């Protein structure tokens, strides 16, 4: 049985980690490098660092923040936000990232996924999809620029296209559940996971260990990502993994 990954997310704005609810009302959570180190030591399988204001502010990723965080880690680091070109991706890899995440730029230029995958390998390309329910909850639409703009694309169809263009993973965030601690959107996650052959990372809504159990079992997620419950001390990564292991979910240490 393949192990399920637990990923800690650092949403960075202005060089500080922040967290809000449904992409709004952001509050400070700490220093990216310090939190990256703490989450890694606590048992995170990977760290995702997202520069959430880069696309909206039309700038590139804060490379110094990436360097400082990467210098604290011995687990894979994914970096997203403001990566618009092959050169942007190369700079982020050079700063210490193991994978890069693309969202807004990939929707604007889907061939960007292929260019990066051909240069650095599909395993290093994560396509982030911010999805919001529409049409009375019958489907989900993809959003860009930190959830500020509708992309006019069905989120599940976009996940399939991203895979076909060379993406190695999908980071799927439920905008409806983000920061609510009400549980992952298992229907959304399952719809995506059952539509692609590459790993799907569930994001948005984690509030406790049972939510992770549900998204792995019912949502068919390969990995689950959270921020608030780790940043504010609501759950220890080690304790979470032990609880998952006790319920038959295969995870890496500790279990």
User: Which residues have C-beta within 8 Å of that of residue 157, sequence separation ≥ 6?
Assistant: none
End-to-end CA separation in angstroms for the chain: 15
Give the SS3 label for residue 89.
helix
Instruction: Tell me phi and psi for residue 133, to 5 degrees.
Output: -65, 140
Name the token pair of 174: 């439920």
Residue-by-residue DSSP string for 124-177: GEEEEEEEEEEGGGTEEEEEETTTTEEEEEEHHHHHHHHHHTT-SEEEEEETTT
Question: Is the distance from CB of 83 to CB of 42 less than 8 angstroms?
Answer: no
Which of the residues are catalytic?
11, 130
Name the token pair of 249: 């979910």
Please report how the helices 186-193 and 155-164 are oriented relative to each other, as an axis angle in degrees rounded to 10: 30
Helix ranges restricted to H, the chain: 32-42, 63-70, 86-94, 104-108, 111-120, 155-164, 186-193, 209-217, 228-231, 237-246
Q: How far apart are CA 43 and CA 41, in angstroms?
A: 5
């Amino acid at each position: 049985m393949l192990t399920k990954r637990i990923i800690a997310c650092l949403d960075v704005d202005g060089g500080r980690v922040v967290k809000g609810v449904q992409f709004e009302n952001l509050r400070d959570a700490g220093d990216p490098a310090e939190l990256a180190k703490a989450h890694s030591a606590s048992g995170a399988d990977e760290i995702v660092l997202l520069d959430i204001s880069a696309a909206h502010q039309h700038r590139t990723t804060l490379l110094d923040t990436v360097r400082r965080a990467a210098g604290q880690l011995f687990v894979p680091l994914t970096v997203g936000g403001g990566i618009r070109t092959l050169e942007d991706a190369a700079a982020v890899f050079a700063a210490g990232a193991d994978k890069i995440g693309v969202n807004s730029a990939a929707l604007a230029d889907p061939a960007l996924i292929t260019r990066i995958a051909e240069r650095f390998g599909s395993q290093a390309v994560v396509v982030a999809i911010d999805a919001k329910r529409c049409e009375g909850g019958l489907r989900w639409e993809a959003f860009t620029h930190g959830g500020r703009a509708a992309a006019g694309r069905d989120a599940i169809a976009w996940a399939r296209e991203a895979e076909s263009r060379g993406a190695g993973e999908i980071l799927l965030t439920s905008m409806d559940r983000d920061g609510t601690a009400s549980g992952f959107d298992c229907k959304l996650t399952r719809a995506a996971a059952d539509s692609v052959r590459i790993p799907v990372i569930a994001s948005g809504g984690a509030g406790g260990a049972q939510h992770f159990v549900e998204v792995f079992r019912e949502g068919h997620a390969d990995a689950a990502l959270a921020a608030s419950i780790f940043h504010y001390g609501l759950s220890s990564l080690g304790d979470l993994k032990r609880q998952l292991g006790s319920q038959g979910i295969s995870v890496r240490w500790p279990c």
